Structures are given as structure tokens and as C-alpha cells.
Amino acid sequence: MKSKKLSIQTLPIAIEQADELLYHAIQIDKEIQQYAKRDANNSPLGKMIAANVLIGLSIELYLKSFMIAGRKDGVVFGHNLNDLYNVFHPVLKDAIKEEYKKCERHKGSIMLEVGMKSSPNIPNRPTKEPFEGVDFNDFESSLNSISNTFVESRYYFETINSNDWSFIKYSFESARCISISIKKVLEDFRNGRFKDKII
């Protein structure tokens, strides 16, 4: 995997950027939750896509901030969250999983999976179930379900065609908890809690 060594001076900027992306994603999610209460039959697709892009990039930047802070080989290139997470030391992964378990999810938060297909006729219903096989109580299962959300969401319009269904998943509370968990363990790491646990 390609990586690049970055100066430790870039760390505060990377963290601030991740924090701002998370903050704005949360603001958009609040609008989505209010919209869903008013009209449960229509999905605010543009807002869902924007929130996904922001939260996906926020998680990516927290993971890369961690790499700036403690990975001897530097920051791994790419946007796939699983690939970035998989370079972490097992002790750090366990700490992130524990933080995820502690994260309070807002009850009643909507989770949506929206499918679209360009078709001159009414298409057949998709055969797969929404969020099939995802355990949102498990960090790694949750991370896997949104692992490519930044790329998939920002280019969603390009995937809509007449051949097959294109899906956009929205499980914001899980993504928010992933982001917060990584941020918390990063703070602990920077404060010396995981001495000698180089990524």
C-alpha cells in the first residue's frame, strides 16, 4: 500500500478539518431527521448524499490523523475506510471497538437505503434487503458497511443506469459513532495512553 510521510505539524490541521466535516455532517443529519418526521414517504436524497460524503471524509481524516501521529511509514493513500483501519495496531483497534460500544446512538434516528434505476418501465423490486448482513452493534461490521461511502456517495449520480439498481445507504448514527470513537482513541493516543503502540 502506498503511503506518504507527513510532518507532525500537519496533525492539528487534519484534526480540525475532520472535526469540521463531522460537525457539518451532524447538522445535515438533524435536517434529515426533521424532514423524515414530516414526510416519511420521501427521502431527502441530496442531503443524505451530502451527509454521507462529509461523514465518510471525516472518518477518513481521523484515521489519517492517527497515521500522522503515530505511523512510522506515514499516511496510507486511498479512501477505503477498511484499508485505512486495517493498518492499525490490534491494541488500538480494540480500544476503538470499545469506544464504539459506549457511543450513545440517538433513538429513532432514521436509517435508509435508497435504490434508483433509470428505466422506461416500472422496474422489478430489488432482490436484496436493506442493510443485509450488517450488525450495527459491531464496529467492524458497521465500518465495513460504510467503508467506501465517501466515493460511492460523491459519485452516486454516475452509477444510476438501466442495467441494475444503484443504492445509497444512510446509517448516520453508526457512522457518527465510528467517527467519534476513532477521534476519542486518537486523543488518548496523543495523550500517551498507548505508549509504544505504533501503527
- Per residue in 15-43, pLDDT (tens digit) is 999 999 999 999 999 999 888 888 877 77
The reported pTM is: 0.89
Q: What phi and psi, each to the nearest 5 degrees, are found at residue 166?
A: -115, 130
Query: Containing domain of residue 108, as a range?
Result: 3-117+132-190
Closest of 8, 136, 137 to residue 68, by C-alpha: 8
Would residue 197 count as lying in a domain?
no
Helix (H, G, I), strand (E, B) or coil at 25: helix
> Given this model, what pLDDT does residue 71 score?
87
Q: How many structural domains is the chain composed of?
A: 1
Would residue 168 count as lying in a domain?
yes
In angstroms, the first-to-last Cα distance of the chain is 14
> Given this model, what pLDDT does residue 108 score?
61
- Per residue in 144-177, pLDDT (tens digit) is 999 999 998 888 888 777 777 777 888 899 999 9
Would residue 93 count as lying in a domain?
yes
Torsion of CA 22, 25, 30, 34, to 10 degrees: -160
CA distance 197 to 104: 27
Query: What are the residues whose beta carbons fall under 8 Å from the beta carbon of 100, sequence distance 6 or more?
Result: 139, 142, 177, 178, 181
Would residue 196 count as lying in a domain?
no
Would residue 195 count as lying in a domain?
no
Would residue 55 count as lying in a domain?
yes
> Given this model, what pLDDT does residue 169 score?
83
Would residue 125 count as lying in a domain?
no
C-alpha torsion sign, points 183, 149, 26, 37:
negative
Closest of 121, 146, 128 to residue 54, by C-alpha: 146
Whether the pLDDT of residue 109 is over 80: the answer is no
How many Cα neighbours within 13 Å face the side chain of 140?
8
3 pLDDT tier (thresholds 50, 70, 90): confident
Would residue 124 count as lying in a domain?
no
